[in-house]
Amino acid sequence: AELKKASKRLTCHKRYKIQKKIREHHRKVRKEAKKRGRKKPKKDPGVPSAAPFKEELLREAEQRKQRLEELKQKQKLNRQKEHEKKRKLEAKKNAAKIKEKAEGKESSGKSKAKSKKLLDKNSKKSFCKELKKVIEASDVVLEVLDARDPMGCRCPQLEQAVTCSGGDKKLLLVLNKIDLVPKENLEKWLNYLKKEFPTVAFKSATLMKDRTMEQVTKRRARIDLSRTTECFGSKCLLRLLQEHGKTQNKAIQVGVVGFPNVGKSSIINSLKGVRACNVGLARGVTKSMQIVHIDKQTKMLDSPSIIADPSNSALALALRSIIDTEESGSADVLEGADAILNHCSKQQVMMHYSIPDFRNTEEFLTLLAQKRGMLKKGGVPDIENIAKLLLCDWTGAKISYHSQPPGSQRLPTYLTEDKIAEMQECFNLKNLEEENTTTVQALKYPSPASSIIFQSAGMANGTIEENKVTEEASEWENLETSKEGEEEEEEDFTESDDDQDDVEEEEKDVQEVTRKAKLGKRQTHPTNSEKQIAESEHSNSLSFSLDKTADEDDAYDFNTDYV
């Protein structure tokens, strides 16, 4: 039996009720409309027949209507033409793209390589140009050294360029960050360096008022201002420069030069007393020459940092290279972290970071990542980011470590006794020594037990000539272009998603195994010097004091015994 559809018929009672409701609604709407006072627009009555010049007025009205219609038609035509032009341009662009694809990947690869060359020339080459400008323009060159590793901050190429330039150019060594080194070690370094060049002990002010700032914030007011805002050694340096200017009878230009994160810009800021130059933890913040007027007789020239030569050791490249840790690859960062840990006392590193015993760098980084809470999805330790953080700590002013000066003083080939006498001619060395002693006595220093013993890699080579930089850049570009070519070839070869995922997973596993093997080899074969340092640390472990400059998070807990 077929199902019958429900009938749409209504009872009369219901139908009448609905009609009544509709009538009431319409009545209500009309009432509201009356209240608002809305009325229908009245029709135009037109020109009355009794009016004079009726025909002329009607003609004018018709002419206006015609003009409006003509304008509308013209606008329509213009729009259509514009649309057609756009369509033609799009068609041409598509055709050009198709032609480029048909011509081959060689032409596109060449164009990419050219554009990359232009971009690369604007980085390292420009740094070298600006640095050369500063050296040529300056009468006195200040080579800024980190007091924690002064020998590693010295650049023989720069010193040779200044000493062999001729004329009355002078070279001064400024030993910065002296508050991060034990007092005895600082005195040793000052005695060692003053035999070659006149050296100034300096502690730059880290928290400086910006030109736009009027008041220091409340948070900054709580910080220990004796360690941050105060500057030591600025008066001594200014006197030296002013005395030299008086002997020359002219206004002198002072170039500030050095490797990245040594404190070039902060020295200028502390001499000026205002934040005139940009300062940051990132490497290579200053990218061009900046002129800062300190007084009528002295101009300071801030320069970009020296580019570390790739022939340097892994340690020198980790601490002195201009490449930012954010941009550098994971392999370079891990190599740098491995080199730093290999040149330090293992026990002191464990004490400083409050981490148990570790076999290799990979294990140390995993433990540190777990402690700091730097984890990826699934609780996997983020080794790359923790390695970058480690490099930032060691180049910044967070960790106190110190290196011992060489036992016997050997002069470099470019330095002779006559040149040393030339460099020390116009400076009052007795006053300099007295003022250095006053600055050394005024500061608070970390205890020798809390400061990590560091083995320096010696002088770091730097590239000052532009030609060498361009050759390196071109080699790097060729590598990049070859990689791009391989990637494009891989794109043409299509395979299933499952196969690609399997291949990628296998490649990652292989890379991790090789990286662990490399780091393990480096850590398992320590040098004799490192063994000696470890033995000395084991004997002096009882004389460890709690005067640490590290953060409260990294404080060593003596109640816990790690096995």
Determine the residue type at 266: S
Strands 252-257 and 140-146: what pairing? Answer: parallel
**How far is the C-alpha of 488 from the C-alpha of 482, rounded, in Å?**
10
pLDDT of residue 106: 59
Share of the chain above pLDDT 70, in %: 72
Q: Which of 73, 75, 72, 94 is nearest to 83 (CA)?
A: 75
* Residue ranges of domains in the chain, CATH in brackets: 124-208+227-310+402-446+458-463 (3.40.50.300), 314-395 (1.10.1580.10)
pLDDT of residue 330: 62
Sign of the C-alpha dihedral computed for residues 417, 423, 427 and 432 taken in this order: negative
Q: Is the pLDDT of residue 554 over 50?
A: no
Strand ranges across the sheet with 170-176: 199-201, 170-176, 140-146, 252-257, 298-302, 290-293
Strands 298-302 and 290-293: what pairing? Answer: antiparallel
Q: Is the pLDDT of residue 24 over 90?
A: yes
**How far is the C-alpha of 128 from the C-alpha of 312, rounded, in Å?**
18
**What average pLDDT does the structure give for the chain?**
75
What confidence tens digit (pLDDT) does each residue in 291-333 have? 888 888 888 888 888 888 888 888 888 888 765 545 555 677 8
3-state secondary structure of 134: helix
**How far is the C-alpha of 483 from the C-alpha of 395, rounded, in Å?**
32
Q: Find out whether 174 and 145 touch, Cβ atoms under 8 Å.
A: yes
pLDDT of residue 389: 86
Q: Find out whether 459 and 406 touch, Cβ atoms under 8 Å.
A: no
CA 240 from centre of chain: 34
Mean pLDDT within 232-241: 85
3-state secondary structure of 188: helix
3-state secondary structure of 220: helix
pLDDT of residue 107: 57
Least confident of 13-17, 271-275, 283-287, 556-560: 556-560
Least confident of 43-57, 147-161, 198-212, 360-374: 198-212
What DSSP string runs through 78-95?
HHHHHHHHHHHHHHHHHH
What confidence tens digit (pLDDT) does each residue in 497-547 have? 444 445 455 555 545 545 554 444 444 444 444 444 444 444 444 344 334
Q: Is the pLDDT of residue 22 over 50?
A: yes
User: What are the structure tokens assigned to 504, written together?
Assistant: 């990628």
Give the residue, 357 or 499, on which the prediction is more confident: 357
Q: Find out whether 484 and 112 touch, Cβ atoms under 8 Å.
A: yes
Q: Find out whether 82 and 75 touch, Cβ atoms under 8 Å.
A: no
